Structure 1
Amino acid sequence: MRHLNLDQLRTLVAIADLGTFSAAAQALHLAQPTVSLHVSELESRLGAPLVVRGARRVTPTPAGAVLVERGRRLLRDADDAIDAVRRQHQGLAGQVRIGCSTTSVVVDLLPPVFHALLERYPDIVLTPSFLGSAYSVSGLLAGTLDLAIIALPQPATPGVALKPWRKQPMVAFVPARWQAPRRATPAWLAQHPLIMNQPGSRMYELTMEWFGRAGFAPRARIEHDYDVAMRGLVAAGYGVALLPAPDDGTTAHAGEHVQTLPLSPKLTRHLAIAYRAHGALDGATQRVIETLLEFA
């Protein structure tokens, strides 16, 4: 037996709801012979009569009533599927996998982006992964990520496009009980235990370049790649960390056991949005990039 035809099924449901072939034809914008053909073809495929033609009203047979009941569900599912495809194509729904170089991006920078996306596109699901910039670029090329927030500079990578996004001033996170100067210099920091990102990360390179320009090459007491954990270690008194200032320089998220000091000379981390350069981006990813750029 061939598969059911959804158009014919829709015709049968309309007849059951409206009571006549002519009313169903008018509602579906079909010719009445077409409506009759739909019913006869359904009956032929199923080998069972589906309607009883009365003097004033057409009613489903017991077999027809079963098909009408199931048909309503099938038609709802079909309509939902069509709507989901349309919304996906228009960028109103979908999953977007985003790589983030550090947890500070998710904790400090992305919440307003998440809120705006939820307000405008509630069916777009943003899924973050905590990956270093190099791994995020690899994820884009491998197709396991749709876009990423990465630290600059990055070597030019064929197939990956970059849009500058945010600038974050770097500050020193220092235990609150320490006696500290008004500004943290490379010389002062080099004399204290340091909590630094792991070698190979862009944050580690940025920090070591800053020390190097002042003639210092300090060793870290603790190496860690998660900003929130590093702040916790600072609060516990294990050392000082150079990290992006939360919320564009405010100290609201530093914690009561942590003080933040501006750096002298200043140090800034530059972030960019990375995405695949070749091929059309799906609509949901485009909407996320557009929203991110609003918060640049």
Structure 2
Amino acid sequence: MREISLDRLRTLVAIADLGSFAEAARVLNLSPPTVSLHIADLESRVGGKLLSRTRGRVQPSAIGETLVERARRLLADAEQALEDVQRQVQGLSGRVRLGASTGAIAQLMPQALEILSQRHPAIDVQVAVLTSQETLKKLAEGSLEIGLVALPQTPVRQLRIKPWRRDPVMAFLPARWECPQVVSPDWLAAQPLILNDNTTRLSRLTTEWFASDGRQPTPRIQLNYNDAIKSLVAAGYGATLLPYEASTPLPDTRIAMRPLHPLLWRQLGIAHREGDIERSTQYVLDVLWGLSAQ
């Protein structure tokens, strides 16, 4: 069977409700011949009579009742779909897909999501744990709206990448250790280490920091989940280098933080596609920009 248009189904339902071709034409703002054409087209497609006239009133046949019942559901679904889309266009609801590293998700996204839930509770942010390169690839493909990525990054066609945060990298050490007030590559390289795995930008940053003093230490373990790394530090398993976001809670009291010399910074950027941005996506971007720290 060929596709049946919603306009024809709407005409059928109107006639069933009003009992008259003429009334249906008036309510739908159609000419009587157009109403008759709609019904003739439906009857041709289903292969049977949909309406009958009884005592001057038009009523659905048995076949017509079945189609009217289904048509009501289809029209209601179509109306709901339009309302949902309009709410998304207006920024009242929507889905925003965001990619970020585990560190950004664990430390920064909870703050953003809490603010967003207060301002725009109907916006659903779907977060994916991805490396910066995976995030940029999915943004370019159109399967993400926003990405939090490590900087610097090579420019990507049709993507806008702007600096977002610049947070100091600190030494996180077991509090029971005897630690200097400022940690150098020479001192830290001699300690047992728990570092990010070599797929991350932070791993490359820390490698360069150690190399500035001619050091190339081998960590006891490499992970890509900062909260797990902190748990191991708290247990005394080793020391680590991690970004410290000033707006996040202080770490476990079993962990001591020390500044580095030379200083080291972790820079993050916000990436999104160029061109028009949906309002729901813009609202998420606005919240994220509010968490920027220079």
* TM-score normalised by structure 1 residue count: 0.81
Residue correspondence of structure 1 range 61-100 to structure 2 within 5 A = 61-84=61-84, 86=86, 95-100=95-100
Corresponding residue of 1:51 = 51
Residue 149 (structure 1) shift:
1.2
Name which of structure 1's ranges 76-85 and 63-72 shifts more when overlaid on structure 2.
Answer: 76-85
Corresponding residue of 2:190 = 191
The 3-state SS of whatever aligns with 1:228 is helix
Q: Deviations over 1:192-242 (max 9, x none)?
A: 212122235321222233334455443323222221221122122111111
Amino acid at match of 1:109: L
Question: What value does the CA root-mean-square deviation take over the aligned residues?
Answer: 3.2
Corresponding residue of 2:265 = 268
2:123 and 2:280 in contact (8 A); partners too: no
1:117 and 1:124 in contact (8 A); partners too: no
Match of 1:293 among 285, 289, 292: 289
The 3-state SS of whatever aligns with 1:166 is strand
Number of aligned residue pairs: 291
Corresponding residue of 1:7 = 7
1:171 and 1:245 in contact (8 A); partners too: yes
Name which of structure 1's ranges 234-243 and 24-33 shifts more when overlaid on structure 2.
Answer: 24-33
Residue 68 (structure 1) shift:
0.8
Residue 272 (structure 1) shift:
0.3
The 3-state SS of whatever aligns with 2:127 is strand
Name which of structure 1's ranges 163-172 and 136-145 shifts more when overlaid on structure 2.
Answer: 136-145
Counterpart-to-counterpart distance in 2, 1:48 and 1:86: 37
Counterpart-to-counterpart distance in 2, 1:69 and 1:280: 40
Counterpart-to-counterpart distance in 2, 1:24 and 1:123: 39
Counterpart-to-counterpart distance in 1, 2:255 and 2:155: 38
Residue correspondence of structure 1 range 25-40 to structure 2 within 5 A = 25-40=25-40
Residue 126 (structure 1) shift:
1.8
Residue 23 (structure 1) shift:
3.5
* TM-score normalised by structure 2 residue count: 0.81
Relative to structure 1, the CA distance from residue 190 to residue 249 in structure 2 (aligned partners, 3 Å threshold; closer, same or farther) is farther
Counterpart-to-counterpart distance in 1, 2:140 and 2:58: 60
Residue correspondence of structure 1 range 140-219 to structure 2 within 5 A = 140-141=139-140, 145-199=144-198, 201-214=200-213, 216-219=215-218
Amino acid at match of 1:238: Y
The 3-state SS of whatever aligns with 1:150 is strand
Relative to structure 1, the CA distance from residue 9 to residue 206 in structure 2 (aligned partners, 3 Å threshold; closer, same or farther) is same
Corresponding residue of 1:257 = 254
Relative to structure 1, the CA distance from residue 69 to residue 192 in structure 2 (aligned partners, 3 Å threshold; closer, same or farther) is same
Relative to structure 1, the CA distance from residue 14 to residue 294 in structure 2 (aligned partners, 3 Å threshold; closer, same or farther) is farther
2:96 and 2:123 in contact (8 A); partners too: no
In structure 1, runs of 5+ residues without a counterpart are: none
In structure 2, runs of 5+ residues without a counterpart are: none
Amino acid at match of 2:231: G
Corresponding residue of 1:21 = 21
Residue 290 (structure 1) shift:
4.1
Counterpart-to-counterpart distance in 1, 2:248 and 2:47: 75
Residue 179 (structure 1) shift:
2.9
Name which of structure 1's ranges 231-240 and 1-10 shifts more when overlaid on structure 2.
Answer: 1-10
Residue 187 (structure 1) shift:
4.0
Counterpart-to-counterpart distance in 1, 2:256 and 2:18: 73
Relative to structure 1, the CA distance from residue 134 to residue 68 in structure 2 (aligned partners, 3 Å threshold; closer, same or farther) is closer
Q: Deviations over 1:86-136 (max 9, x none)?
A: 5566666665443323x12001111232334445262544231232x2343
Residue 271 (structure 1) shift:
0.5
Counterpart-to-counterpart distance in 1, 2:46 and 2:140: 50
1:147 and 1:274 in contact (8 A); partners too: yes
Counterpart-to-counterpart distance in 1, 2:281 and 2:96: 6
Counterpart-to-counterpart distance in 1, 2:228 and 2:96: 26
Amino acid at match of 1:18: L
Relative to structure 1, the CA distance from residue 144 to residue 70 in structure 2 (aligned partners, 3 Å threshold; closer, same or farther) is closer
